Structure 1
Amino acid sequence: MSRWIEPVTLKGQHVTLEPLTLDHEKAIAAAAADGELWKLWYTSVPAPEHVRSWIEAALAMRDNLGAHPFVVRDAAGDVVGATRFFNVDSVNRRLEIGHTWYAKRVQRTPLNTEAKLLLLTHAFESLNAIAVEFRTHFMNHQSRTAIARLGAKQDGILRNHQIGKDGVLRDTVVFSIIESEWPAVRAHLKYKLAR
């Protein structure tokens, strides 16, 4: 069976996105430890003792649902986070970019801007997507601001959308970029990187 999203490595000046494997377990644990990111109650960053099961779940999403999980490497080649294509709807050529997190030391650097540029370029120009979504927890104001800065537009809020690991109900903010908006978003991201 042909898959819409095949494994691919995306490389820029500041960042490389490569397919996630079980071999990345120690590097993922080290990246998450920079800032103890699993302690942020509104994210799904794995705690050190859960990294293997987190990777296995990401790979199961790849194998069963057509997702594509990546590790994120900085310019020095160190793993500093993760991201993925998921909620893949190949019939309607839509997907979501998410499950994104970065070690504290690379947050608010050009790395995220370039990672999103690489992912969106692949989605719109190689996969011919008609829309790319981003979703985040209502309480994750840093993520909401970052998504809006990309040029994505807020579509709405899904109230009581999910039950969190702690049992707290999550309101999910949905953003998207559609195919006709991509040229302006691409120019904006390239401008931001050039600065």
Structure 2
Amino acid sequence: MDPNYPPKPVTLSGNLVELVPLQLAHTEALSEAVKDGELWKLWFTNIAPPEEMQSWIQKALDEQKVHSSVPFAVIRKSDGKVLGSTRFMNIEKEARRLEIGATWYCKSVQKTLINTECKLLLLQHAFEVVDCIAVEFRTHFFNSQSRKAIERLGAKLDGILRNHRISKNGTLRDTAVYSIIQSEWPTVKSNLQFKLG
């Protein structure tokens, strides 16, 4: 039994951001962050509005207790501002596979190096500490911004899960599933490090 698997709450630190274990104490800061771009209004995402942020965090912490999720708050190191959240989720107990998901950032830092560094920190921990054999990314088929970001990481499209979820507006969601496998990690890592300069 690998003592590092399943992953435990941990702080991951880079040059731009620090990923810290999510806590209820982050409720106010995340409620402010989600207002930057009114992210909960995007029909193809599932992001909590400010008034539901505390229960959203509590649900993530409940998942953490049963080892199916390890949620993080994303904090900018230069000023300590909370920018959003991400997590290890859908952690498979036997196969050493997990998904990086439930990721969102305030609009003002989207399409910046913040996401690149977050993904480098998470993937490095998943492959080099937790010894994952594969890391998944999932997103709405119509979330083209998210799909392009996942593809830029070097993840490959595994397929489309059709009628996979019922969206909050009642429409049926097709989910695009991507992954990076263990043998691809050195090349993906070099690419991310190059992007970060």
TM class, shorter-length: over 0.9
Pick closer, same or farther for the CA change 1:175–1:3 going to 2, 3 Å.
Answer: closer
The 5-angstrom pairing of residues 168-187 of structure 1 reads: 168-187=171-190
Residue aligning to 2:14: 12
Q: Which moved more, 1:151-160 or 1:48-57?
A: 48-57
Pick closer, same or farther for the CA change 1:18–1:190 going to 2, 3 Å.
Answer: same
1:65-98 CA-partner distances (Å, limit 9, x unpaired): 4310000011221100000000001311000000
Which of 91, 110, 113 is equivalent to 2:113?
A: 110
Amino acid at match of 2:160: I
CA displacement at 1:168 relative to structure 2: 1.1
CA displacement at 1:2 relative to structure 2: 8.8
Asked if the contact 1:3–1:66 (Cα under 8 Å) also holds between the matched residues in 2, the reply is: no
The 5-angstrom pairing of residues 92-107 of structure 1 reads: 92-107=95-110
Asked if the contact 1:59–1:69 (Cα under 8 Å) also holds between the matched residues in 2, the reply is: yes
Residue aligning to 2:166: 163
Deviating above 2 A after TM superposition, structure 1's stretches of 4 or more consecutive aligned residues are none
Residue aligning to 2:195: 192
The whole-number CA distance in structure 2 between the counterparts of 1:158 and 1:73 is 32
Q: CA RMSD in A?
A: 1.3
The 5-angstrom pairing of residues 146-161 of structure 1 reads: 146-161=149-164
The whole-number CA distance in structure 2 between the counterparts of 1:127 and 1:2 is 5
Q: Which moved more, 1:118-127 or 1:69-78?
A: 69-78
Asked if the contact 2:4–2:130 (Cα under 8 Å) also holds between the matched residues in 1, the reply is: no
The whole-number CA distance in structure 2 between the counterparts of 1:138 and 1:33 is 24
Residue aligning to 2:70: 68
Which of 25, 29, 32 is equivalent to 1:30?
A: 32
CA displacement at 1:40 relative to structure 2: 0.4
CA displacement at 1:3 relative to structure 2: 6.0
The whole-number CA distance in structure 2 between the counterparts of 1:4 and 1:41 is 32
The 5-angstrom pairing of residues 35-74 of structure 1 reads: 35-74=37-76
Amino acid at match of 1:32: V
Paired positions, count: 194
1:31-83 CA-partner distances (Å, limit 9, x unpaired): 00001000001111110111111111111111124310000011221100000
Asked if the contact 2:27–2:53 (Cα under 8 Å) also holds between the matched residues in 1, the reply is: yes
Unpaired stretches in structure 2, ≥5 consecutive residues: none
Which of 87, 111, 133 is equivalent to 1:84?
A: 87
TM-score for both structures, normalised by structure 2: 0.96
Unpaired stretches in structure 1, ≥5 consecutive residues: none
Indicate the SS of the match to 2:45: coil
Indicate the SS of the match to 1:166: coil
The whole-number CA distance in structure 1 between the counterparts of 2:5 and 2:25 is 23
